[in-house]
Amino acid sequence: MMQPGRKNLITDISGIRVGNAGDDRIKSGVTVITADTPFTAGVNIMGGAPGSRETALLDPDKLVCDVDAIVLAGGSAFGLDAASGVMQGLRDQGRGFAVGEHRIPIVPAAILFDLNNGGEGAGTENPYPRLGLDALNAAGPQFDLGTAGAGTGAIAGDYKGGLGSASIVLEGGITVAAIVAVNSLGSAIVPHQGRFWAAPFECDDEFGGLGMASQHDALTEPDLPKLNGANTTIAVVATDAALDKAGCQRMATAAHDGMARALVPSHTPFDGDCIFGIATGEGAMPGPLDQLRIGHAASLCLSRAIARGVYHATGVAGDPMPAFRDQLA
């Protein structure tokens, strides 16, 4: 029987570390996922308005097999420069792809749009390289959820979005986990019900134990409060199994099912929904049936992580949308 990991975080996978950095003034931030050693990665982008960096090299037919970190950032395209700060920090640590005498850290990144979130403007200097380096330096086994890191200024439908994470340990010992910054056009909440779409997959009251919606008219069109391109949900799903790049890509593809279950609607033309799949390779090489189970677990983890990100968000002055938990009081 599957069960959540000890921390119910992506860092339940041995060796993975996560760091957050945020700027309360601009209401934006960065989350860095790294590990003790380079890891295999793939990606699947299903949103219509993505912003990303170094994703083409993750295709299974490309040369580089391992990456040193993945960056999730706010700031729209400005946030892609967070990866530059992370690269600098990793280079100082001697990390990176060896080319002769040079070391080039491989740091794919994806961004969300949070520029209209009630914060002040960033000014003339791009703050994201600094935030990226700060997040890298903060990386460890514990990290905050909700209004933190890349989820600092996120909005999810009618409520504040946020940073969420969840994990599952499969029978046989394989661990699968997810981390996500939820900034979706669609909602994580069933309309007029105050219940999460992901409620059927909740473990141990991890996002409030509110139960499932009593009913929902499937023919009701969703209420879309921000049709302005200011969206995108970005995530990483991970396992300690020994997946190759194609296996990581397949895991990321399966995880999009979890996004669709937890956010309605998802994968719209106005979202840049992007999921990275990573594997530390500490476990055994999985067979076809294990790969199926890993993909299914990744989708469950992502649904739960999305709900946790919204549930743990906290409201601050000037927010354009309320925090979900503030509505429960």
Using the Cα atoms of residue 51, residue 53, residue 54 and residue 58 in order, give the sign of their dihedral. Answer: negative
Give the pLDDT band (50/70/90) at residue 120. confident
Tokens of residue 26, six digits: 């601009």
The pLDDT of residue 182 is 97
Residue at 39 is within a domain = yes
- Is 307 part of any domain? yes
Kindly give the residue spans of alpha helices, DSSP state H, lying in the chain: 82-92, 128-137, 245-262, 288-311
Query: Tell me, what's the pLDDT at 329?
Result: 63
Residue 18: phi, psi to the nearest 5? -130, 135
Residues 6+ apart with CB under 8 A from 192: none
Residue 322 located in a structural domain: no
Asked whether the beta carbons of 72 and 42 are under 8 A apart, the reply is no
Q: How confident is the model at residue 287 (pLDDT cuts 50, 70, 90)?
A: confident
CATH code for position 73: 3.60.70.12
DSSP string, 108-124: -EEE---TTSSPPP--S
Taking the chain, what is the end-to-end CA distance rounded to the nearest angstrom? Answer: 35
Domain count along the chain: 1
Within a domain: 293? yes
- How many residues in total does the chain contain? 329
Provide the 3-class DSSP secondary structure of residue 74: coil
Q: How far is CA 288 from CA 22, 292, 294, in A?
A: 40, 6, 10
- Global confidence as pTM: 0.95
Residue 325 lies inside a defined structural domain of this protein: no
| Rounded Cα gap, residues 129 and 145, in angstroms | 22
E strands, 140-211, in order:
155-156, 159-160, 162-169, 175-182, 189-190, 195-196
Instruction: Give residue 214's pLDDT band: very low, low, confident or very high (50, 70, 90).
Output: confident
Ranking 46-55, 136-145, 217-226 by mean pLDDT, the lowest is 217-226
Give the residue numbers spanning the domain of 44.
10-317
Q: Is residue 108 part of a domain?
A: yes
Whether 281 has a pLDDT exceeding 80, the answer reads yes
Residue type, 73: A
**Residue 38 resides in a domain:** yes
Residue 328 located in a structural domain: no
What mean pLDDT do residues 313-322 have?
A: 90
Contact 39, 83 (CB under 8 A): no
Residue 123 CB: number of other CB atoms within 10 A?
A: 9
- 207, 270, 317 from 115: Cα distances, Å: 27, 15, 16
Preceding omega of 269 cis (within 30 degrees of 0): no
